[in-house]
């Protein structure tokens, strides 16, 4: 029993700085790479699920992108849902359309020049559009980092944890993963002394707890069962077996306490739909804007008891060879923040067995999870080899 469609191609451009390039240009490159990987011709592409740059957003981005590529697909969109969750719903929407017979080949894409297109004088992530924080958060000198810092502080307070003992192992695990990924922006080994001397941006978040702003883009191709049967793609397809998401707020003052964040609700529903248990999961990718994000996600998804994720990570739980290798590409924190798109690609790569020196043995089931905004939109999806 198939699920409508599966991922048959991935494309990822160099993460780093691309001065002079636009987000549309980088997304177009990622699409070309993904189509080449899938063995799909440009004229076979029916649908483009795009997500516009957040730094310099384009309204109706999808049409700008397809026009730029010189293609005339049935569908083009700007799928702005939040963080990694956007890509989950792109897949859900595309396979539903395929099941209905509306089209056969879709590409999902995101890329941003968050590093080189910032306005002069700004540090960290900035955007040129309103974010909903203008009236009751921005006047107080609030930023995305200080908001996540309040989340990190709440995590430490809830379980009476030490910040260095809790967050350093996460930073170390991700950097160790990144050292095995040629397309990671930060690959230099780090020590606990580096961590302790890393500048405090917004207490308790240090620079080494943060996902660096980079330029980058990624894309993946989804094809219908009909297309896969007829064209025999060069790579084993990867299917989404389950998905669920939940939003609880937009701005940080409106968020529920950590144990009630949406992922606690969405995660179990995604697992149930996929018919999997925690023991079935071979690897995880989590939207890791900051180190606390991974710990909170591990607990909300039920992989660790409340307050215990730090110990799990310190004991090697998310390392290669650990119980649940997580963000094996280095994560947003050491690979660079490309919105979580590269987390989907890493899961596909691991499931295909093409992750090179960071390959997880016998990787059959992957979970992609995380949030957008400040834990505002949350979601989890289950990916597995085959047509589902």
- Contact positions vs another protein (CB under 8 A): 121-126, 135-147, 149-151, 153-154, 157, 199-205, 251-254
**Nearest distance, CB of residue 170 and another protein, angstroms:** 18
Give whichever of 204 and 388 is closer to another protein, judged by the CB atom. Answer: 204
Q: Which of 200, 199, 172 is nearest to 186 (CA)?
A: 172
Give whichever of 252 and 370 is closer to another protein, judged by the CB atom. Answer: 252
Pairing state of beta strands 215-224 and 5-12?
antiparallel
What does the alpha-carbon distance between residue 328 and residue 278 come to, in Å, rounded to a whole number?
A: 18
Pairing state of beta strands 365-372 and 283-286?
parallel
Give whichever of 44 and 146 is closer to another protein, judged by the CB atom. Answer: 146
Give whichever of 201 and 241 is closer to another protein, judged by the CB atom. Answer: 201
Give whichever of 257 and 279 is closer to another protein, judged by the CB atom. Answer: 257
**Nearest distance, CB of residue 343 and another protein, angstroms:** 24
The answer for 173, left when phi > 0, alpha when psi is -120 to 50, beta otherwise, is alpha
**Nearest distance, CB of residue 374 and another protein, angstroms:** 11
Count of all residues that appear for the chain in the document: 388
Residue 143, classed as helix, strand or coil, is coil
**Nearest distance, CB of residue 252 and another protein, angstroms:** 7
Q: Is 301 exposed, middle or buried (0-12, 13-18, 19+ CB in 10 A)?
A: buried
**Nearest distance, CB of residue 333 and another protein, angstroms:** 16
Give whichever of 117 and 385 is closer to another protein, judged by the CB atom. Answer: 117
**Nearest distance, CB of residue 158 and another protein, angstroms:** 9
**Nearest distance, CB of residue 134 and another protein, angstroms:** 10
Give whichever of 43 and 134 is closer to another protein, judged by the CB atom. Answer: 134
Q: Which of 213, 215, 183, 217 is nearest to 51 (CA)?
A: 217
Q: State the DSSP H helix or E strand holding residue 63, giving kind and residue range, or none if neither.
A: helix 61-69
Q: Distances from the Cα of 364 to the Cαs of 29, 53, 116, 294, 351, in angstroms?
A: 29, 32, 38, 21, 6
């Amino acid at each position: 029993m198939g699920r409508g469609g599966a991922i048959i191609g991935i494309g990822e451009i160099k993460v780093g700085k691309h001065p002079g390039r636009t987000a549309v240009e980088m997304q177009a490159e990622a699409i070309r790479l993904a189509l080449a990987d899938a063995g799909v011709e440009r004229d076979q592409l029916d649908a483009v699920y795009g997500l516009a740059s957040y730094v310099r957003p384009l309204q109706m981005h999808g049409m700008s992108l397809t026009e730029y590529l010189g293609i005339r697909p049935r569908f083009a969109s700007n799928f702005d849902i939040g963080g990694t969750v956007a890509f989950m719903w792109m897949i859900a929407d595309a396979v539903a359309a395929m099941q209905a017979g509306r089209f056969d080949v879709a590409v999902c894409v995101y890329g941003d020049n968050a590093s080189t297109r910032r306005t002069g004088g700004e540090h960290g992530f900035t955007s040129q559009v309103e974010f909903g924080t203008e009236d009751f958060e921005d006047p107080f000198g609030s930023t995305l980092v200080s908001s996540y810092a309040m989340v990190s502080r709440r995590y430490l307070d809830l379980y009476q944890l030490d910040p260095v003992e809790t967050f350093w192992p996460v930073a170390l695990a991700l950097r160790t993963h990144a050292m095995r990924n040629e397309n990671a922006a930060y690959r230099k080994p780090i020590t606990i002394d580096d961590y302790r001397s890393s500048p405090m941006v917004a207490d308790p978040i240090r620079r080494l707890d943060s996902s660096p702003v980079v330029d980058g883009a990624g894309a993946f191709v989804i094809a219908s069962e009909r297309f896969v049967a007829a064209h025999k793609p060069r790579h084993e397809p990867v299917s989404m077996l389950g998905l669920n998401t939940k939003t609880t707020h937009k701005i940080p003052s409106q968020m529920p306490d950590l144990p009630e964040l949406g992922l606690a609700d969405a995660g179990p529903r995604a697992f149930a739909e996929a018919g999997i248990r925690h023991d079935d999961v071979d690897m995880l990718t989590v939207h890791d804007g900051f180190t606390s994000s991974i710990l909170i996600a591990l607990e909300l998804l039920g992989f660790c008891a409340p307050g215990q994720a730090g110990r799990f990570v310190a004991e090697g739980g998310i390392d290669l060879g650990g119980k649940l290798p997580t963000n094996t590409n280095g994560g947003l924190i050491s690979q660079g923040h490309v919105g979580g798109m590269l987390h989907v690609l890493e899961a596909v790569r691991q499931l295909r067995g093409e992750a090179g020196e960071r390959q997880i043995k016998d990787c059959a089931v992957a979970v992609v999870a995380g949030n957008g905004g400040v834990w505002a939109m949350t979601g989890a999806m289950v990916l597995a080899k085959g047509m589902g």
